[in-house]
Copies of this chain bind each other. A is one copy, B any other.
Amino acid sequence: MTSGRSNPTEPFVGLLMFIAARDVENRVVAAMRRAGIDDITLAQARVAARIGEHGTRLTDLAEQAQVTKQTATALVDRLEAAGYVERVPDPRDGRARLVRLTDKAGALMPVARDEEQRIETEWEAHLGARRMRQLREALTLLREITDPYRDEP
């Protein structure tokens, strides 16, 4: 969404944000493709990126990725079939299972991180250190009112 530009003087900030965020995703996906990783989709990666060090419950993944449990199940199924994650029983809750990253996934994370770092460097070069700092500050503040799932408050 984020409407076009019927008023060209002041493009809506949400649209500007959408454009930049989309570019980031495109670039990270492209970087993975270049690294020979083509058996993981964007939706799957969004879920995988939220799996914690010691595994994460499906329900938590669903919540953070903002999809239903059923959708998360389907995405994890595919990630599992591709060998990027595994499901292990949750020792603390017999109903639950923890979704954990495998070694194969571990090899893929640095590709994403490197591209993110590269993007950040380019942005800083384009904006200058001062504006980059201001951007980060504003976005961090904004998170307080736009992120329903930030961890440490």
Contact = CB atoms under 8 A, between A and B. Distances in A.
Interface of A: 1-6, 8, 11-14, 16-26, 28-29, 42, 45-46, 49-53, 66, 109, 112-113, 116, 119-120, 122-123, 126-127, 131-132, 134-147, 151-152
A17 B21 contact: yes
Contacts of A6: 53, 113
A85 B132 CA distance: 41
The main secondary structure of chain A at its interface with chain B is helix
A31 to B, nearest CB: 10
B131 A141 contact: yes
A126 B5 CA distance: 25
A14 B116 contact: yes
A12 B24 CA distance: 11
B145 A109 contact: no
A91 to B, nearest CB: 22
A140 to B, nearest CB: 6
B21 A18 contact: yes
A88 to B, nearest CB: 19
Contacts of A147: 19, 23
Contact of A119 (B14, B16, B23, B144): B14
